[in-house]
């Protein structure tokens, strides 16, 4: 599979690092409007060619799949041009700016008989993969409610950059900070909803008082007979990320930061015995996760971006097989975009309210 | 003469601006980022503060207006690889693009000692301006990569524009207000211990005032176009001597563990293996290659700067180090 990357910023390094471990991938070229970044990335990962014009790169390198790792404001335009050239695309989160753009890209991919895969790579981390198998075994039952929590770290250099610079591209996103980072949390909940959603309600505040961006967000969702909560916090410590899926047979918790899958199921044992049994079952699950994570660390099978590599492989397999849908289903991408639209509307209404 | 100092708010930059101002015969444009604390340089004679950022190129022309010499100090000292490349290399490229067709005659680029590749230098050898620059870029840390790339782009762009380029490579800049423990002493493992590596190697210290003076001279001395100058002070002290001076004031470094250099190299080998087996889960913080570059026993030569720049370090080594440690002790006490 011939792969090219457009956009040589920070996340592109993670892509190249994971691509080096994906056997079927051959990275043929990278591209960035800033030649120094393209040259540096190419040299660092031994990529044979680099370009500053992606049109030229597509014509000369002729990739099968193009990874688009540019700021969100440029994603749609570049994705459409790449699709027009007959290449499948992997588009980093948030995929596009809004639902309209998302639909445009998906329709173009369908019409061009190629795939447009959203970079919701956490879906391919170990805990969500274990959950998929658990659900396929019918142990969850019907989904009643989903909670997804995203802890955001405002202490890093990236946060410093957009807090100090009000001209940073983050401020130009309609959904501001939330739009850039909440996609992973939304993607965990999205498979349980259908687009269009019945109701979405948002609530947000600038809890830290940074004066530049709101940093706390709560979302409530209704889709058919399934409800959901999304929590985004920049204040809670430790910075964690998890999802809870409430089914008619059991409750599943995915600790996404620590790669732990656990569940609570029903038992017919009487109260006191049930308490003992449930604690032991939990202990067993945690012990298993601890050993699994240790093994994964030592063998290198569990890395920070393992899910990304897994999603790349799944996408290349889908492209080879001529599948109609990418490994992240289009419904999930549309649901995520729809919720992001509500977040954007919410942010816009707050700005209008402040002006008034 | 009018000069521009980029990175004027930094530890070295503010000292350079102060010394340029004291000369009394120069107008100084000091480029500082919007919102940065300029208390150290604001109000100095003939200094104009220019708010700008090399990553926002539209702010550069104003800073270059009427300037003949650019002292380019702005660079990133930490951050991700991409941050370092952007802020150091792309920032430099943005600056140099605007120098084309301007009044600038000379660029003084402040680089770093870290650009040298000491892997193949024999122990006890002298490191001078003829020592080869690292060619295995990606076996080194991102800071070194960014400084080497910054030098490369400056050399090629200045040659194209026929603008004089003088490169200054300071050793470890020290002085009051810096963390007194240099990385050349050892490796701190947060929450675990401080590994004091070896003890015999010389630390390539240069006091901030001495270094700033050398840089100042590199902007005005004649007949040095295209030259490179290593800046280290005289009578460099060993790791062992520094440790003794530090601990006599501050007490023993908490959880300090001494590790001989050969043993540390074995540890480096183990880390390299672990990095490979775990597919990067163990970060490559200790490798034999980096150990050689950081802790090898070599001598440092500053005679080129002394002869060509007519420079000599005014702040003596031992009193400068004592001053730094006492300053640190007082600030910790506060």
Do A153 and A273 belong to one domain?
yes
In A, minimum Cα distance to B93 occurs at A36
The domain spanning residue A18 has which CATH number? Answer: 3.40.50.720
Residue A315 domain-assigned (yes or no) = no
Among residues A77, A98, A120, which one ends one of the domains? A120
List residues of B whose CB lies inside 8 A of any A CB. 35, 56, 79-83, 85-86, 89-90, 93, 137-138, 145, 149, 153, 277-281
Let me know whether A127 and A37 are in one domain: no
What's the first-to-final CA gap in chain A, in angstroms? Answer: 54
Report ipTM for this prediction: 0.88
Cβ-contact B211, B112 below 8 angstroms: no
Per residue, what are the HEC states of A75-92?
A: HHHHHHHHHHCCCEEEEC
Q: Of B82, B86, B90, which is closest to A13 when you measure between CB atoms?
A: B82
**Sign of the alpha-carbon torsion through A164, A168, A172, A174:** negative
Domain boundaries, chain B: 2-177+204-236+299-319
Band of residue A356 on the pLDDT scale cut at 50, 70, 90? very low
Quick one: which of A104, A43, A40, A33 has its CA closest to A71? A33
Q: Helix (H, G, I), strand (E, B), or coil: what is residue B299?
A: strand
- For β-strands A250-255 and B126-127, DSSP reports them as unpaired
Inspect the interface and report whether the beta carbons of A13 and B138 lie closer than 8 Å: no
**Residues A196 and A182 grouped into a single domain:** yes
Of residues A36, A164, A303, nearest to B279 (C-beta): A303
**Section B107-120 average pLDDT:** 93
- Residue A323 falls inside a structural domain: no
Q: Residue B143: in which H helix or E strand, if any? A: helix B142-161
| A146 & A217 share domain | yes
Helices (H) and strands (E) in chain B, counts: 11, 14
Residues A184 and A90 in one domain: no
**Of A78, A102, A120, which residue sits at a domain end?**
A120
| Beta-carbon count within 10 A of A23 CB | 9
Contact list in B for residue A37 (CB cut-off 8 A) is 82, 85-86, 90
| End position of a domain, from candidates A96, A120, A144 | A120
With cut-offs at 50, 70 and 90, classify the pLDDT of residue B298: very high
Q: What's the rounded mean pLDDT across residues A21-48?
A: 96
The predicted-structure confidence for A315-347, as pLDDT tens digits, reads as follows 999 999 999 999 999 999 999 999 999 999 998
In chain A, how many domains are there?
2
Average pLDDT over residues B290-300: 92
- Does A156 lie in the same domain as A108? no
A312 domain-assigned: no
d(CA A188, CA A185): 5
Spell out which residues of chain B touch residue A52, defining contact as CB-CB under 8 Å.
none
Same domain? A73 vs A167: no
Pairing of strands B106-110, B164-170: parallel
Domain hosting A45: range is 2-120
**Tens-digit pLDDT profile for residues A234-249:** 999 999 999 999 999 9
CB contact under 8 A, B80 and A157: yes
Measure CA A123 to chain center: 7
Q: Closest Cα to residue B172, out of B275, B242, B262, B246?
A: B242
Q: Average pLDDT in the A26-50 region?
A: 96
Within 8 A of B80 by CB-CB distance, chain A residues are 10, 157
- Name which of A20, A33, A36 to mutate to probe chain B: the one with the most chain B Cβ atoms within 10 A of its Cβ: A36
CA–CA separation, A69 and A90 (whole Å):
9
pLDDT in tens, B218-228: 999 999 999 99
Cβ–Cβ contact A74 with B under 8 A: no
CA distance A44 to A47: 8
Percent of chain A at pLDDT > 90 equals 82
| Cβ-contact B236, B300 below 8 angstroms | yes
Let me know: does B74 contact B7? Beta carbons within 8 Å: yes
Is A271 in the same domain as A207? yes
Q: How confident is the model at residue A263, as a pLDDT?
A: 96
Residues of chain A contacting residue B35, judged by C-beta atoms under 8 Å apart? 164
A134 and A115 inside one domain: no
Decide if A17 and B280 are in contact by the 8 Å CB cutoff. Answer: yes
Give the chain B residue nearest A36 (alpha carbons): B90
Asked whether residue A154 falls in the same domain as residue A140, the answer is: yes
**A43, part of any domain:** yes
**Strands annotated E in chain A:** 2-6, 26-31, 49-51, 65-68, 88-91, 116-118, 143-151, 199-205, 216-223, 226-233, 241-247, 250-255, 260-265
Q: How confident is the model at residue B332 (pLDDT cuts 50, 70, 90)?
A: confident
- Contact residues, chain B, for A298 at CB < 8 Å: 277-278, 281
A9–B83 C-beta distance less than 8 A: no
Judge: A40–B85 Cβ closer than 8 Å, yes or no. Answer: yes
Mutate to test the interface with A, among B140, B143, B278 (most CBs of A within 10 A): B278
pLDDT mean over A81-86: 97
- pLDDT average, residue stretch A118-139: 95
pLDDT tens-digit profile of A251-303?
Answer: 999 999 999 999 999 899 998 999 999 999 999 999 999 999 999 999 999 99
A160 domain-assigned = yes
- Contacting residues of B for A299, CB less than 8 Å apart: 277-279
Distance from CA of B229 to the nearest CA of A (A): 26
pLDDT at A170: 83
Q: Is residue A196 classed exposed, middle or buried when 0-12, 13-18 and 19+ CB atoms within 10 A define those classes? A: exposed
Architecture of domain B2-177+204-236+299-319: 3-Layer(aba) Sandwich (3.40)
The DSSP element (H or E) to which A10 belongs, if any, is: helix A10-19
CATH number of the CATH domain containing A168: 3.30.360.10
Residues A39 and A153 in one domain: no
Cβ–Cβ < 8 Å for A251, A245: yes
Q: Of all residues in chain A, what percent carry a pLDDT higher than 70?
A: 98
Contact B89 A17 (CB under 8 A): no
Residue B145: its chain A contacts at CB < 8 A? Answer: 40
* Rounded Cα gap, residues A145 and A142, in angstroms: 9
**Do A31 and A89 belong together in one domain?**
yes
Closest by Cα among A300, B103, B3 to B31: B3
pLDDT band at B314 (very low <50, low <70, confident <90, very high): very high
pLDDT digit string, tens, across residues B246-289 = 999 999 999 999 999 999 999 999 999 999 999 999 988 889 98
CA dist A126 → A282, A296, A304, B256 (Å): 18, 10, 11, 39
Q: How far is CA A37 from CA A34, A75, B143, in A?
A: 6, 18, 15
User: Is the predicted pLDDT of residue B333 greater than 70, yes or no?
Assistant: no
Give the Cβ contact number of residue A277 at 10 Å: 12
Residue A119 · residue A97 · CB < 8 Å = no
Task: Judge whether A292 is closer than 8 Å to chain B, CB to CB.
Answer: no
Rounded-to-5 percentages of helix, strand, coil across chain B: 40, 20, 40
Q: Mean pLDDT, to the nearest integer, of A136-142?
A: 96
Identity of the residue in A13, A37, A297 whose CB atom sits nearest the CB atom of B278: A297
Mean pLDDT of B63-73: 96
Q: Which of A21, A37, A300 sits opposite B85 (nearest CB)?
A: A37
- Residue A264 sits at φ, ψ, to 5 deg, of -120, 120
């Amino acid at each position: 599979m011939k792969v090219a990357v457009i956009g040589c910023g920070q996340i592109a390094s993670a892509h190249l690092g994971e691509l080096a471990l994906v056997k079927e991938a051959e990275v043929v070229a990278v591209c960035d409007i800033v030649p120094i970044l393209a040259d540096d990335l190419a040299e660092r990962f031994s990529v044979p060619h680099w370009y500053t014009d992606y049109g030229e790169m597509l014509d000369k390198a002729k990739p099968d799949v193009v990874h688009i790792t540019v700021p969100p404001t440029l994603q749609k335009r570049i994705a459409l041009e790449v699709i027009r050239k007959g290449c499948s695309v992997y588009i980093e989160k948030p995929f596009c700016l809004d639902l309209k753009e998302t639909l445009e890209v998906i329709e173009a991919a369908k019409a061009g008989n190629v795939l447009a895969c959203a970079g919701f790579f956490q879906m391919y981390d170990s805990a969500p993969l274990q959950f998929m198998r658990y659900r396929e075994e019918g142990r969850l039952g019907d989904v009643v409610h989903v909670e997804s929590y995203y802890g955001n770290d405002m202490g890093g250099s990236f946060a410093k950059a957009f807090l100090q610079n009000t001209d940073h591209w983050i401020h130009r996103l309609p959904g501001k900070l939330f739009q850039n980072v909440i996609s992973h949390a939304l993607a965990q909940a999205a498979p349980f909803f259908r687009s269009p959603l019945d109701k979405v309600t948002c609530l947000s505040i600038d809890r830290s008082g940074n004066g530049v961006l709101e940093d706390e967000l709560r979302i409530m969702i209704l889709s058919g007979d399934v409800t959901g909560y999304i929590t985004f916090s920049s204040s809670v410590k430790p910075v964690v990320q998890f999802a809870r899926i409430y089914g008619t047979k059991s409750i599943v918790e995915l600790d996404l930061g620590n790669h732990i899958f656990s569940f609570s199921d029903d038992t017919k044992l009487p109260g006191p015995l049930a308490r003992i049994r449930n604690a032991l079952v939990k202990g067993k699950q945690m012990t298993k996760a601890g050993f699994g994570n240790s093994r994964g660390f030592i063998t290198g099978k569990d890395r920070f971006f393992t899910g990304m590599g897994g999603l790349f492989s799944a996408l290349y397999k889908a492209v080879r097989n001529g599948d109609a849908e990418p490994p992240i289903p289009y419904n999930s991408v549309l649901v995520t975009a729809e919720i992001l639209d509500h977040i954007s509307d919410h942010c816009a209404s707050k700005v209008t309210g402040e002006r008034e | 003469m009018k000069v521009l100092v980029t990175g004027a708010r930094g530890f070295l930059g503010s000292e350079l601006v102060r010394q340029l101002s004291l000369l009394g015969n120069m107008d100084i444009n000091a480029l500082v980022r919007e919102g940065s604390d300029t208390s150290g340089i604001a109000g100095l004679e003939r200094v104009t503060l220019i708010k700008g950022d090399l990553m926002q190129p539209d702010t550069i022309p104003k800073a270059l207006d009427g300037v003949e010499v650019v002292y380019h100090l702005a660079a990133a000292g930490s951050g991700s690889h991409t941050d370092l490349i952007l802020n150091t290399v792309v920032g430099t490229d943005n600056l140099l693009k605007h120098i084309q067709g301007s009044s600038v005659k000379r660029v003084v680029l402040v680089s770093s000692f870290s650009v040298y590749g000491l892997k193949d230098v024999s122990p006890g050898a002298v490191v001078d301006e003829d020592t080869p620059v690292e060619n295995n870029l990606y076996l080194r840390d991102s800071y070194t990569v960014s400084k080497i790339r910054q030098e490369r782009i400056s050399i090629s762009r200045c040659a194209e524009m026929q603008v004089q380029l003088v490169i200054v490579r300071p050793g470890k800049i020290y002085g009051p207000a810096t963390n007194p423990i240099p990385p050349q002493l050892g490796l701190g493992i947060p929450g675990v211990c401080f590994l004091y590596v070896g003890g015999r190697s010389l630390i390539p210290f240069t006091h901030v005032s001495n270094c700033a003076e050398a840089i100042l001279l590199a902007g005005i001395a004649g007949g040095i176009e295209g030259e490179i100058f290593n800046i280290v002070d005289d009578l460099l002290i060993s790791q062992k001597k520094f440790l003794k001076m530090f601990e006599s004031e501050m007490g023993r470094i908490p959880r300090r563990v001494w590790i001989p250099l050969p043993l540390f190299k074995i540890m480096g080998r183990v880390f390299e293996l672990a990095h490979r087996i775990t597919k990067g889960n163990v970060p490559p913080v200790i490798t034999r290659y980096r150990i050689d570059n950081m802790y090898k026993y070599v001598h440092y030569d500053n005679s080129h700067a002394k002869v060509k720049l007519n420079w000599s370090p005014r702040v003596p080594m031992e009193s400068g180090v004592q001053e730094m440690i006492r300053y640190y002790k007082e600030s910790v006490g506060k």
